[in-house]
Every structure is written in structure tokens, then in C-alpha cells.
Amino acid sequence: MNPVSYLALTPEAIKILKANGCWSRSWPKVKVTKGFDPTRIAGTIFRGEVRIGSLDGEFVPRDGIRRYAGIFDANLHNVTIGNNCHISNINGWLSNLIIEDNVLMENVGSIVCQGETSFGNGHAIEVLNEGGGRELKITEMTSAQTAYLSTMYRHDAALIKALDQIAENYAVSVRSDRATIGEGAKLFHCQNIVNVNIGQGAILRGIQNLKEGTIASSHEAPTFVGDGVIAKDFIIQKGAYVSDGALLSATLIGEASKIGKQFSAENSVMFCNSEGFHSEVCSIFGGPYTVTHHRSTLLIAGMFSFFNAGSGTNQSNHMYKLGPLHQGILERGSKTGSSSYLLWPARVGAFSAIMGKHYANFDSSDFPFSYINEDDGQSTLVPGMNFFTVGTMRDGLKWPTRDRRNNSDKLDQLIFEVLSPYTGQKMMRGQALLLDLYAGAEKGQEYVSHQGILIKRLLLKTCSRYYRMALEKYLGDALVARLTANPPKELKALTTPLDGAEDGDSSWLDISGLLCTQPRLNNLLDKIKTGDVTTLHTLQIELQKIHDSYALDEWSWVLQAIPQVYDFESITSDNLKTVLEKWKVSSNKLLNMVEMDASKEFEGNVRTGFGIDGHQDEDFDTVRGKFEANSFKKQLDEMRQAVQSNYDRSLNILKNI
Amino acid sequence: MSTLDRIKNVAAELLKTDSSRIQESSRFVEDLGADSMQSIELVAAFEEEFDIEMDEDAALGVKTVGDAVGFIDKVLAQG
């Protein structure tokens, strides 16, 4: 809102206001802008300092009923109202508020600011561990990465102190005894709102109770908070949708997340593009794309990202000894089957599918893309198998297309890739481990045990080949992308790390959606600890830089991985042709296996239930269609064609180097 | 012992069934009740039994015991 000069009411204006049923104990405290039209105000009580902008605009909201700027049947106390606002039917009070221009507010209980507050910013929540010890100070600028560092790097006291201070500084910077309702916000049929900042363009409709919070919003990414929402000590970030009886307590809802249908969250964060319906979360670190849709699902004391919870998913975070101090980690891309259960502590490797009930406190982080099954009450692992399923391929394709964030100042830094140096290094480690386990196993042995979980001896070699195949696919993907994006003239240009890249042998980390090398992260941590990064804004800029370095560092990793995976002494043109050849074979194998997996949706038992009074096949074909005509099947065919054309093109480029 | 008999024995042990129930025309999934996990285990078990390496996607395309005999004999013939 631009600085405005206000004038006292003229006697004529006061006379009109009184005639319109308005009342004030002290009219001189009511000030207005030049050109003020007192006929636009009726039935309003003025208390304390009230400032009113021009009232000559109009609104046509979605219901199509034109509203004119004005104030009708309202109780105002210490309020500054911008230009062209429509405020009507305020049953309680609007108190200690800055209402920016073009706000529409209709049929509202009370919106008040009581004393100084930071509007939920700086509130410490007990994320991941109910018993405390990982308190995260949430702010409207908290990204998944910032929260990850604050939550998971507790061993680094200097870092935590600095991050807490950064969050605290932000909280102080927004601290005020006046709450703001941002430009263009619309509020309909709301009950009580206490100490809440509401961002530009936000829409609040039918909320029940909001206390101590911030609803970040912008015109490019408006936030919606709707019917029956009760929230306390909360942050809702830009573009989020929260409605239908959602209950939030000490919780951060990330950008473009969707929350509703009586979902309940306590001491939790759920970063961008998350979805929570029906179910309950307690002390979770929900990274980007944490999705739980079913009433009987509880997520507790766990870390998730790119995660989908099946119905009835449950975990326990205490073993009835010293209380709820256990935690679990499901690395990115994992999903739980219906009625699955995990007794924390446990750690699940990336892109794994968990089925059944698990009491084993296992750690499968060395084995991404795994199936985790329950076999006679024991937890068993099939490493690498989930790489070849429809689900993983579809997930990998859908996440980038389902990034609903419209704001240009996105907080969470995301690298979507399923195959990356992060999963690549795990698969290399996993492959070696599986072969070691095989070498050490007796032939009559049914299972081998690793980090608390059982792996069938028979599958050790098979699964190591799965990783090999996935690595051949990934390294070839990277080579093809590099060759075709910018065809090099000579081999050296191809095999030299890119300018500004990290060493290829650096460890890779998943900082809640951001894949990066350990040295790059360490560099940022140093900057935070030494005071080079002192604000959430500059921290965002640094995280963005790390995000932007992904492709550089990835190529360095690929260059060091190729000789290791293929046992090459060096990278020659002929060796790269081998990489290309293997890539073509593995890519086609993957597509064939995924197709076989997908075709199961059309065969045999899946037809059960179709054709209630006969005509089973006809009923199935009519409802589900033929596999050959399925869009995913067609997509796979297109991918096969792309493999061949990319192979031909890349081979040509290599031949000319 | 013939390839067929060895396949029957391996399948019977893994699928916990009597080898006499297994015919050349038996389908691993529909007739012998192999689920997707057991299908993979069968491939691994055949590999171990015959000391061969089977192409993953082609092997998973094998539907019947008879198909498996043909497939494995072919791999063995290729040396």
C-alpha cells in the first residue's frame, strides 16, 4: 500500500455517516483520503484510530453479484483500510488490522490482532520426534531444504544456532501489533481469525478458526483456505489449498499443497505439492510431494518425500520403554501398500515399495528401488525390483508435470530425476553388497540378512543384475543427453568435467528434494556458520545456486562412474560406443519389463468382478479398454522408438569425434 | 535327468507343490499359482540349477513349463 495522506472527516461527512447508522465516540480519530464518499458507509461502529481509503470501485466475484466498495454493518477498531475495499456484515470486530487495497470481506466474525505477534513465524515445532530435540522454527520463507538442515543436522550445534537465529530474525522482522490483509484478498463467511497475516490475493471462505499464523499468497499463486479449517501456530505457503475441515496445529503447509477432507496435522511440515486428505500426520517431516489420501492412514515421526501412502498405512514411534523417541526415514520415491506398518526406527531406501507389517527395525538405504515384503512375519527385501515396475516409471514421469507451483519465487528446490548420482551411487554400492552377500552365503541357505532385513539368497545375483541394468540405463541416458544437447567436436571436450563442477567422486545427498554433492552442501553450511548467509532470502539464493549446479556435477559423477561400472581403464570413443550399446539393450529391457508389468493389469485375475451376469471379457474391454490401445502402452512404444533414434544419433556423433 | 524333470523339480520346490502336478502344458501363473515374486525366483532358481544366465525380460515372458524347457535348452545350446 502506498503512503497515503489522510484528512479529518468533514462535519457534512459525519452527518451523513450518522444518518447511515454509523457511530463513533471520537469522530476526529476517523480519517479518510481525499474524495471520501461517506454514502458508501453504513451501520458501522468506529473505535480507536481508523483510516479509510477511497471507496469508489466495485467487485464481481465468482457468484456474479456485483459488490460496490464500501463498509456496511461493520465494527472497526484501529484499522487502516486501503482503497476500494468492500467490507460488509462483520459480526464481531476488525481490530488492529492493515487492510490493503481491493480487499473484499463479507459476513465475517472477528479478525483481530491481539498484542505483538510474529504470525506463526519463528514458532518451534517438534518435527520428526515428538519428544523434542529437533525443534524447527517455521517461517513463511522456510523451504524444504532449510527445514531439512534444521531438523537433521542437530549434530552441528553451530549450524543449528545460526539457522535458528536466521529464523528468529525473520520472525522479528515481521513482528507487529497489526495484522495485514493483503491486496486483493477475499474473505467470505469466516468466523474467528486472531493474529494472522493474510497475503495478497488469498481467498478465505468459511474458515472456522485461525490463530497465530501466516497465509502467504500472491496474485500469481493465490492461496485458498476454506470451509471449517481450524489452524493454530501455522504457516501456509503460497498457492496452497487448505479446506474442508482440515485441522492444523503447529504445522507448515508448503507451496501448492492440497489439504482437506478433515485431514489433521500436528507438529509437522508438508512441503510443496504435498497432499493430505482424510488422514492424520503427527511430527512428520513431509518433504515435497508427500501424499496421504486415506482416512485410516497415520504418518508419524517419519521423514518422507515423493511419497504416496496406501490406505491404512501406520507406524509406531515408540517401543513402550522410554516413550516416543524413535523415528523413521523413507527416502524419496517410496510408497506404502494398503495396511502396511513400520515399527520405527527403520530406514527405507529410495523408490522402494513397502507391503505388509514390519517390526524388524531394518535399514535398506543401500538398496534403492526395492520391494519390502512381509514373509511369515519377517521383513524381506527384493533389491532393485521396483525399478522395473509401471508405478516407478509413472511416478517419475508424473512428478515434474504435477508441480502446481505458479509463483516465480519458489521456495523448495527440486531435482526430480529418478536416476541420478544419488540413486546411482546407491545402486553401485548395492550391487557390490549383493555380490559380497552371495559370495558369503551357503547354497542351502534360503535367506541372508543385511542391516536387519532378509534377502533371498537365490535373488542376490538376479538383483545385482537389476542394479547393473539400471546403471547401464542411467549412464547411457546421461551420455545420450550430453551428446545430443551439444555435440562435442573432440573426445576431450566430452570427457572433461564441466567448468565449475565438483569432483566426480563426491558423495551425493538428497536434501529433501534437492540432490547435491556433499562438498557443495558443506560450502553452504560453512557460509551459514561463518555469517556469510544471515537471512532466509540469501539462504534461498545459495540453495538456488546449488540447484542450478546439478547438471554440472551430475556429468562429473557420470564421468567417474563409467569406468567403474564398465571396468574401463579410461574413457575412449570405443568405450563410449559400448556404453551406448549397453544403454540401448538395457533401455529396451526396462521398457519390456515395465510393459509386462503393465500388461498384468489386463490379464487373468484382474478381470474378476467384471461381467456381473456374464460377458466378462466384453465388459472388461469396454470399461478398461484393450492393452494395445492403452495410453501408457503407447507411451512405451514411443519410448522404444526414441531409444532407437537417440542411439542412432548418438552413435553418429561419437563416430565423428 | 531331462531338462523337463529338472524344471519340474525346481518349480515344485519353489512353489511348494508336488512335481507330479506339473505338466509340460502347466502355466506358471494361472495353473501353478506363481505370483510375480515367485516368477522372478523361478528364473533365479533355473539359472542356478542349470548354471546359466537368462535374459531378464525374455525369461519373464515364459508362460508355461514347456516354454521354459525350450528357452533353457536354447540357452544351454548357445553355451
> Which tens digit of pLDDT belongs to each residue from A615-630?
999 999 999 999 889 9
Compare CB distances from A593 to B30, B48, B57 and report the shortest one's residue.
B57
Judge whether residue A89 has pLDDT over 60. Answer: yes
| Identity at B72, one-letter amino acid code | I
Which pTM was predicted?
0.94
How many angstroms separate the CA of residue B32 from the nearest CA in chain A? 13
B56: nearest CB among A382, A458, A589: A589
The values of phi and psi at residue A531, to 5°, are: 90, 10
C-alpha distances out from residue A233 to A247, A263, A630, Å? 11, 16, 47
Specify the range with the lowest mean pLDDT, choosing from A90-94, A548-552, B34-38. Answer: B34-38
CB A303 within 8 A of CB A330: yes
Asked whether the predicted pLDDT for residue A604 surpasses 80, the reply is: no
Residue A67 CA, chain-centre distance (Å), reads 37
Is B67 an annotated catalytic residue?
no
3-state secondary structure of A42: strand
Question: CB–CB of B40 and A462 under 8 A?
Answer: yes
Q: What is the pLDDT of residue B26?
A: 95
On average, the pLDDT of chain A sits at: 95
Judged by a CB distance cut-off of 8 A, whether residue B47 touches chain A is yes
Pairing between β-strand A23-24 and β-strand A45-52 as defined by DSSP bridges: parallel
Q: C-alpha cell of A608?
A: 474378476
Q: pLDDT tens digit string along B49-74?
A: 999 999 888 887 889 999 999 999 99
For residue A2, name the pLDDT band (cuts at 50, 70, 90).
Answer: low
Contact call for residues A410 and A394 (beta carbons, < 8 A): no
> Residue A179 region, left (φ>0) first, then alpha (ψ -120 to 50), else beta?
beta
- Residue A588: list chain B partners with CB under 8 A: 57
| Environment class of A192 (CB within 10 Å of its CB; exposed 0-12, middle 13-18, buried 19+) | middle
Asked if A458 and B29 come within 8 Å (Cβ–Cβ), the reply is: no
The reported pLDDT for the residue numbered B79 is: 73
Of the ranges A154-163, A167-176, B30-39, which one carries the lowest mean pLDDT score? Answer: B30-39
C-alpha cell at A612: 456381473
At A404-434, the pLDDT tens digits run 999 999 999 999 999 999 999 999 999 999 9
Q: pLDDT digits over A506-520, tens only?
A: 999 999 999 999 999
Catalytic-role residue among B35, B51, B55, B57: B35
Report pLDDT digits (tens) over A8-62. Answer: 999 999 999 999 999 999 999 999 999 899 999 999 999 999 999 999 888 888 8
Q: How many CB pairs under 8 A join A and B?
A: 41
Instruction: Report the C-alpha gap between A80 and A583 in whole angstroms.
Output: 65
Which residue among B29, B40, B57 places its CB closest to the CB of A604? B29
How does residue A6 score in pLDDT terms, banded at 50, 70 and 90?
very high
Residues in chain A closer than 8 A to B63 (CB atoms): none
| Residue A62: predicted pLDDT | 83
